């Protein structure tokens, strides 16, 4: 399988090259040259296969010859070290809980898969790769945990001082080993700008820099697996299935749409957003107008120019009509989000954090047109990751899971920086 740059169809690379580079030299996102289809027999009998076998069948065509079968199977086994349960919430509505991994957010799957791919590509090399990543919260923790101890890979995480939660900061700063946390005097955009500047800096050309955000195909593609695992669990109901994804950079839903193209018969997708409504507006007006992001209580989705939307447009040959056939998109305010968190809790006992609650709202809206379908919303983070918001909104106290309690006695180790020059000297002098 080759990947081409969405800015230039003639620039083609292997899976390995796409993973190592992260983004094409012309700044285009990499996109698979063909979308493989799975055999109808395989899909019809999906529930009879182990998760690992399903994952191998789905991922193998995308990885191609870059990783041999035995190693790919090993990577998959290490990636899928936790459960993905579909939990019944009420009537025919289910929550697909993607937060049972080590850092309690769905980004664990992509981060674990990518880290192990890089570890494999780098197995015989003397040179170290440095993964440089800016985080507004969940990405940093998932990348730190996923890459911890991976041979030949150093990780440098930039996060905005005072803008991530205490738990999120602990997930970045307490691991040690090959993980380095840089606390930046500034906001997320400053961190992101520093990372971009580093990638373009010719003085750093030889230092093996790569990125681990969701534009990397090794983080994006394994997200397809959630939808296959959900299908394995829900097929027995013999109803059509509608899936709602709380969306920010649109990587997760784009992976779901790819799973559908491969043959997974999900009837319809919903991209639910907070007030950062660039995509819902596009689906209504046909005009894609990026905006500065607005802060909300579902902050992992505060994105005004979703980076993966170009992949969705490519998947549908830029036809708005074709996109509308497969997916809808709606936007919700913080007030609506809090209100539905309260209703869900009081009527069913289910505790949703703000991202999952936005997903639930989008699902409710869409099920009006599909009264006989099963509805599935993705719960993308553990409620404890948004502790204050959930406790205040629902007037409850959440017990701390073991994975978080373990972090509390550990010392936060970080380097404080304020300028790009400081980042550069950090990268050059290690």
Ligand X SMILES: *Cc1c(COP(=O)(O)O)cnc(C)c1O
Q: Does 213 bind ligand X (CB under 6 A)?
A: no
Structure tokens that stand for 412 in this block: 């936060």
> Among this protein's residues, is 107 annotated catalytic?
yes
Q: Report yes or no: 175 and 162 within 8 Å, Cβ to Cβ.
A: no
Q: How far is the CB of 204 from ligand X (least distance, A)?
A: 27
Task: Pick the binder of ligand X from 119, 140, 160, 248 (CB under 6 A).
Answer: 248
Q: Which residues within the stretch 135-174 sit at the binding site for ligand X (CB under 6 A)?
A: 138
Structure tokens that stand for 15 in this block: 């899976």
Q: Report yes or no: 313 and 333 within 8 Å, Cβ to Cβ.
A: no
Comparing CB distances to ligand X, the nearer of 135 and 232 is: 135
Find the part of the chain contacting ligand X (CB under 6 A) among 47-55, 229-237, 242-250, 282-290. 242-250
| Separation between Cα atoms, residue 318 and residue 324, nearest integer Å | 11
DSSP reduced 3-state for 328: strand
Q: Does 301 bind ligand X (CB under 6 A)?
A: yes
Find the part of the chain contacting ligand X (CB under 6 A) among 88-96, 205-213, 243-251, 325-333. 243-251
Task: Pick the binder of ligand X from 66, 130, 161, 252 (CB under 6 A).
Answer: 252
Find the part of the chain contacting ligand X (CB under 6 A) among 21-29, 62-70, 244-252, 314-322. 244-252
Integer CA distances (angstroms), 198 to 122, 276, 315, in order: 21, 28, 31
How many CB atoms sit inside 10 A of residue 208's CB?
Answer: 17
Question: What number of chain residues touch ligand X (CB under 6 A)?
Answer: 16
Q: Which residues within the stretch 314-373 sit at the binding site for ligand X (CB under 6 A)?
A: 355
Task: Pick the binder of ligand X from 3, 15, 30, 250 (CB under 6 A).
Answer: 250
Q: Does 246 bind ligand X (CB under 6 A)?
A: yes
Output the CA torsion sign for 106, 107, 113, 116. Answer: negative
Q: Which residues within the stretch 61-100 sit at the binding site for ligand X (CB under 6 A)?
A: none
Q: How far is the CB of 244 from ligand X (least distance, A)?
A: 12
Comparing CB distances to ligand X, the nearer of 292 and 409 is: 292
Integer CA distances (angstroms), 334 to 69, 79, 101, 118, 300, in order: 46, 33, 27, 38, 13
Find the part of the chain contacting ligand X (CB under 6 A) among 5-13, 172-180, 181-189, 245-253. 245-253
User: Among 371, 365, 338, which Cα is nearest to 352's?
Assistant: 338
Element of type H or E holding 180: strand 179-184
Comparing CB distances to ligand X, the nearer of 104 and 150 is: 104
Q: Does 16 bind ligand X (CB under 6 A)?
A: no
Radius of gyration of the chain (CA): 21
| Separation between Cα atoms, residue 178 and residue 172, nearest integer Å | 12
| Separation between Cα atoms, residue 101 and residue 403, nearest integer Å | 9
Integer CA distances (angstroms), 341 to 62, 179, 187, 261, 351, in order: 38, 35, 28, 33, 7
Which of 16, 107, 163, 385 is catalytic? The answer is 107
Site string for ligand X, 260-289 (x = CB under 6 A): ------------------------------
Q: Which residues within the stretch 372-401 sit at the binding site for ligand X (CB under 6 A)?
A: 380-381
Task: Pick the binder of ligand X from 186, 222, 251, 383 (CB under 6 A).
Answer: 251
User: Which residues are the active-site residues?
Assistant: 107
Given the rule CB under 6 A, which residues bind ligand X?
Answer: 105, 107, 138, 214, 246-252, 300-301, 355, 380-381
């Amino acid at each position: 399988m080759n990947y081409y740059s969405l800015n230039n169809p003639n620039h083609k690379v292997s899976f390995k090259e796409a993973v190592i580079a992260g983004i094409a030299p012309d700044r285009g996102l990499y996109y698979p040259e063909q979308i493989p289809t799975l055999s109808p027999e395989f899909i019809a009998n999906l529930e009879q296969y182990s998760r690992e076998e399903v994952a191998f069948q789905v991922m193998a065509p995308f990885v191609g010859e870059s990783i041999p079968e035995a190693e790919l199977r090993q990577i998959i086994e290490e990636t899928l070290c936790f459960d993905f349960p579909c939990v019944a919430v009420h009537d025919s509505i289910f929550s697909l809980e993607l937060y049972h991994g080590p850092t309690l957010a769905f980004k664990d799957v992509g981060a674990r898969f990518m880290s192990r791919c890089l570890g494999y590509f780098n197995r015989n090399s003397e040179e170290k790769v440095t993964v440089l990543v800016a985080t507004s919260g969940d990405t940093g923790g998932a990348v730190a945990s996923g890459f911890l101890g991976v041979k030949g890979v150093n990780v440098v995480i930039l996060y905005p001082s005072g803008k991530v939660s205490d738990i999120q900061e602990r997930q970045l700063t307490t691991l040690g080993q090959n993980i380095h946390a840089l606390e930046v005097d500034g906001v997320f955009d400053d961190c992101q700008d520093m990372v971009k500047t580093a990638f373009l800096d010719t003085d750093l050309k030889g230092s093996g820099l790569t990125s681990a955000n969701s534009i990397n195909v090794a983080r994006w593609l394994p997200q397809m697996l959630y939808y296959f695992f959900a299908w394995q669990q829900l097929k027995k109901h013999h109803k059509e299935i509608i899936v709602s994804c709380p969306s920010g950079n649109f990587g997760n839903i784009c992976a779901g749409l790819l799973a559908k193209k491969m043959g997974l018969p999900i009837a319809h997708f919903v991209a639910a957003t907070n007030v950062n409504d660039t995509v819902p507006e596009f689906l209504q007006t046909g005009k894609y107008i990026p905006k500065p992001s607005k802060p909300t209580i579902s902050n992992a989705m505060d994105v005004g120019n979703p980076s993966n939307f170009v992949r969705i447009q490519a998947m549908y040959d830029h036809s708005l009509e074709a996109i509308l056939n497969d997916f809808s998109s709606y936007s919700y305010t913080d007030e609506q989000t809090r209100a539905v968190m309260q209703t869900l809790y009081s009527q069913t006992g289910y505790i949703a954090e703000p991202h999952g609650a936005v997903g639930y709202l989008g699902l409710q809206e869409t099920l009006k047109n599909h009264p006989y379908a099963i509805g599935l919303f993705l719960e993308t983070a553990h409620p404890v990751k948004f502790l204050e918001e959930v406790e205040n909104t629902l007037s409850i106290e959440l017990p701390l899971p073991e994975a978080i309690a373990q972090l509390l006695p550990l010392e936060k180790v970080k380097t404080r920086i304020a300028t790009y020059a400081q980042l550069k000297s950090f990268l050059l002098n290690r």
